[in-house]
Chains A and B, each alone.
Chain A
Amino acid sequence: MKRSNRFARGIVALGLAMGALACVAAPAAPESITTAVPAMKARLAAKVPLTGIARAGNALVAVGDYGMVVRSTDDGSTWQQAEGPVSALLTAVHFVDERHGWAVGHGGVILGSDDGGASWKLLEVLDERPVLLSVHFLDAQRGYATGAYGAAFRTTDGGRSWAPMAVGSGHDADLHLNHVFSVRDGTLFIAAESGLAFRSTDRGASWTKLDTGVSGSLWSGFERSGGEVVLLGMSGKVITSRDGGDTWQARDTGTDQSLTAGMTTADGGVIVVGAGGVVLRGNASGPLQLEIRPDRQNLAAVMTAPAGGGVVVAGQLGVERLVSAR
């Protein structure tokens, strides 16, 4: 009897506490509706505009608008919504192994997951809320996040604390740092606005500006199986370097649509996607083949499926397994 009484009082107290909490939370602060409110449970989570895809072991994880994070464990056939702590547009996601991953987005938000993308925690909301555009980790501890107007940060404790990092200087200090990535020997690259690219061989302590020979913005980059570094961006531009970024050659793509993302496939080929439904494919040596999807949707990300050799693309209309025209 006594115990149940105490139990009841406990319930009442809990209720009061929750009520108080609700009162505090109710008037959503204007600034924070996107960063403080968790992502809505949505029927169309996988149909929202998505901007990035990563692989976590056998799972695929994609992020995008309204703070959506979706996950697939069957090579992209079906997608489940993961619980996301924010509602802001997420712009990039990266995993170093099957468990540890990070995502960044607008409003300076940095999210982390240690269960392969099934659940996410808000690790950091950066001061002045920069628009973050890219995140990359070398291992479970050391990582980098870059974004608009020269925003660049790094962490050595798995994302719990972040320190600013100077990339460009002078006129170049305010440029958008669109994509940060690394190659096999640990060298870091950043694809940036106005045809700029940066390289760091000391894990981000110092950065060198590269002469790419192009003027349009570079949006993304990756390393090919042979060690060739590829940068891509506006106006269908693809440039490659065989000497670690010292010299660059322009590649013919046959399109003037902006290219948003690319990667090396398991068989050593490449696949690049872009605006207007553009998909470029190439094998290890030959030229790139242009394909235009009938829906013309702007694609933002591409990832090979863990098994079966399929490819998953993400864009304006969400994620989709790519059905090749061939």
Chain B
Amino acid sequence: MNLAWILLFLPLVVAAINQLVLKKSWLVPIFSTASAGATFVIAFMILGQSGTASFAWATIGDFSIDIGIKLDQLSTGMMIVVTGVGMLVHIFSLAYMKDDSAKARYFTGLSLFMFSMTGIVLANNFIMTFIFWELVGLSSYLLIGHWYQKDSAADAAKKAFLCNRVGDFGFMVGILMLWGITGHLTFDGMKGGLETFQAANPAIFSGVLSAAVLCIFCGAVGKSAQLPLHVWLPDAMEGPTPVSALIHAATMVAAGVYMLFRLQFTLGFENFEGLLASQIIAWTGGITALVAALMATQQNDIKRVLAYSTLSQLGYMVMAVGLVAGEAGMFHLFTHAWFKALLFLGSGAVIHACHHEQDIWKMGGLLKKMPITGFTFLVGFLALIAVPGTSGFFSKEQILEAANEKEPILFWIAVIVAVLTPFYMTRLFVVAFLGKTKSENADHAHEVGPLMFVPLVLLAVLGLIAGYPFIASKFAPAYHPTEHLFELGTITYISITAVIIGVVSGFVLYSGKEKDPVSIPLLQNRFYIDGIYDNFIVRYYQDAFAAIVAFFDEFIINGLLVGGLSRAAESTGNIFRKVQSGSLQGYAFVFGLGVILVIYFTAF
């Protein structure tokens, strides 16, 4: 247990020392990276342990909020993902951020993020989850806005934070509802409380539970960037690429899925079967997966393509959780973390080599110039499109099976996504890595240094093998063991066909092209969702609200409270000003009068 406490607080201590003591020293990156390495070692040591420990943090009467740690396969497995990806991203950042003037701030932010994420994963109660949930949002904000001098980065950071806040509001309501239903905030006590509630109120049980779960799901919609709050994630790509890999691909955005699964795991899966909330969650996930995959097909920024693919894969996971097949979702989270981090770091290496060129139509031919990056990227690409034998194949297979079993329509949506994913990834790979170079920046590209390609190679290895049972059963947060490695059935055939269709069509369409032969404005503009938000919600709601707030500020606060107080003081002062006549005799008279009064009151 002590190790777990160290695991939780080490990154915080490091972040504090970095911020308060070391400041801009060259030691900061090394210190942060060392702490990430140490947490990874600790995560390995506590893997598979179980137990809880907590201390009271805030006590009000009988009610107490704890800071506690809950260790089980789910949390320790998740810690492997968080610290593993985290450590590799730290190492990669050492090289990627080498010339950045504010890299001390960057690494401090990374350490703060590691602390917050560890807190979410290890939390043993919902209030603690919520606190760290917000902390994660804060560190994400700081890191997206790392290059805050750029307006786009500052805006993206603000957008991410606000979108998350919208979801978190529901999350908080959900937590309070669950607390009201079960009377417990800790995961351990909730199950019992829920059973008591069910026994007492069988008629409204499923409705109330549904409402609570939906509210909590709001939090996941924000954090895991599901429709309709997905808009922040593609914009978050304004942050440094290693941050995108760590926070916006592998760990933080998966926190929503993790939290939903933890909820199901805590309350018992049987309560979620056929629940309305579960269906809504599943459909949200499915539609997000489809819409995001469609948007990804027409993006030109290498990081944006990956961002939409992350959205789409998160949709898969959420769908799996909604179908009460959370093990499949968590398994996909586990495999996805490795290969998506790999893809992002790979794109980071490409961007680094091409002098911060992100447009895939200005790259090309990079496989020859950067063979290690290119081939590791290829591995990530194969794992993402779920080629049999790679990790992504196993996990996606489980999701498809679950979907087929429970909701055929969602299964077909998932299959369409499984066609679209290979299509847009092939497009990305063919355009950026094959063919001729299309710009000068790409001409000058050369292989990145070992600090960058070693994490890539390690992640590539994991991306290949993480799906096999001998790894997954030990390390994955949740894993549903299968009897055979490959079950050749209809689903396997369908998914292999989907991959082939996607790859072939992508290759035929984009091979050797100089510019995009297809142009679908609807998809390029992301279904105009951002536009709707800007023109409708921002314009009518935000501006109207701003007017109300301005009125309140101007008239109530400024006019009545501040101005009123000052006017009251002034008029009282005016009354007493007359006393200060400045005439000596006036004072003497009042003084004499006073003496007489004193004598009068003492004598009589």
A and B physically associate: no
